[in-house]
Structure 1
Amino acid sequence: MNLTLETKRLLLRPLELSDDEDMFQLDNNPNVHEYLGKNPVQSIEESRVYIKNINEQYLKNNIGRFAVVLKETGDFLGWCGLKFITEEENNHINFYEIGYRFKEEFWGQGFAYESANAWLEYAFNTLKVSTLYASAHINNKGSRKVLEKIGLQLQNEYLWNNEIPCVWYELKKEVEK
């Protein structure tokens, strides 16, 4: 995948197998998985499989989660991007979802907002998506704040996988007159 997005501070690029150690550091942290079912990865091989799955999404859907890298230092902060969801979730199917996950040491510094906002603009202006969706654990105030700050609107509560209490957000592209 040749797509790369840039913001003032960030480079958003496709995930590569060489990101495996950074992905393991991210997803091995129990605090990162507090609202994701409390099931952090236990081996770097799990991270490699995850990256391979994302690379398959690039090929299949021409989109997916991207590495978020700090331009100034080259540090891997986490990931953010769009995913085309083909399985039913909250009575929706075949839709674009925006999502993000960051290493704990980079929380609260505006990186999730900055990268998510870049993807929102890409979804509406380049992909011409009519509606963008997202979900978050009902108690994940940080993630919910980011979604609301980029303009997504709370729609309803639901149980993800019939067990995790989540909230559902959406934003419809305004049609220019």
Structure 2
Amino acid sequence: PWKSSDFSNFCRLAKNPQIMRYVNQGKTWSDKRILSFVDKQKKRFQEDGYCRWVVVNKIKNNFVGLCGVGLFEPPGFLEIGWWIEENFWGNGYATEAARCSLEHAFREIHIPHLKSVVHPDNHASLAVIRKIGFQQKRSGLLGDYQRSPKNLPIVTYSLK
């Protein structure tokens, strides 16, 4: 799922403040954190059959973003999520990629339950999560799950 050439593409995402505004309190990632993330995706796929996959445009075969299942730590539940390059926003890539990820998770590797944690101001991701059938379970703060950042608002969705 991940090639070495995807690292520079993912760097663009993880270093873009517009994309990161709902991730990590809007802080961009260092090269070290990006490399660690990519390594975890490769390992997770080899060991468990899921990860955040690279999303490409089918016609031009160029990098669009990433989407898939990841481990939300702590507390350790499986979550679906996506990051899409700005120039591809509003074109259905997140929805299509999320549907493919769900199909793989439920049919191929038999994951019984997925969640999604979304910032309440991320209206595009909220629209996608509803389109693919998730139901809102609760609103709260990220600190309800993790030690920090306690003040980041989130909405949790679930699908079985």
TM-score grouping bracket, smaller chain normalisation: 0.7 to 0.9
Aligned length: 153
Distance 1:154 1:118, change over 3 A: same
CA distance in structure 2 between the partners assigned to 1:35 and 1:49 by the alignment: 20
23, 26, 40: which one aligns with 2:13: 26
The structure 1 residue matched to 2:57, chosen from 47, 55, 70, is 70
Q: CA deviation at 1:159?
A: 1.2
What RMSD in Å do the two structures reach over aligned CA positions?
1.6
- SS of the equivalent of 1:63 reads coil
Match of 1:6 in 2: none
Q: Distance in 2 between matches of 1:57 and 1:153?
A: 26
- What residue number does 2:104 align with? 122
1:108 paired residue number = 90
Q: Work out which of the two has the higher radius of gyration on C-alpha atoms and give 1 or 2.
A: 1
Q: Is the 8 A contact 1:78 1:103 kept in 2?
A: yes
- Deviation for aligned residue 1:170: 0.4
Whole-angstrom distance in 1 between the partners of 2:61 and 2:118: 28
Partner of 1:5: none
Report what 1:168 is aligned to: 156
CA contact (8 A) 2:82 2:94 kept: yes
Give me the whole-angstrom Cα distance separating, in 1, the residues matched to 2:49 and 2:140: 29
SS in 2 for 1:31: helix
> What's the CA shift string for 1:43-72, capped at 9, x where partnerless?
4x5433321122122233221110001121
Q: Where does the alignment leave 5 or more consecutive residues of structure 1 unmatched?
A: 1-13, 173-177
1:96 paired residue number: 78
The TM-score, its normalising length taken from structure 2, stands at 0.87
Structure with greater helix percent = 2
CA deviations 1:71-95 (Å, max 9, x no partner) are: 211110000011244631xxxx4x3
The reply to whether residue 138 of structure 1 matches residue 138 of structure 2 is: no
Displacement of 1:125? 1.8
Distance 1:171 1:22 in 2: 30
Q: Distance in 2 between matches of 1:158 and 1:17?
A: 37
TM-score by length of 1: 0.80
Runs of 4+ residues over 3 Å off in structure 1: none
SS at match of 2:59: coil
Query: Which is further off, 65-74 or 76-85?
Result: 76-85
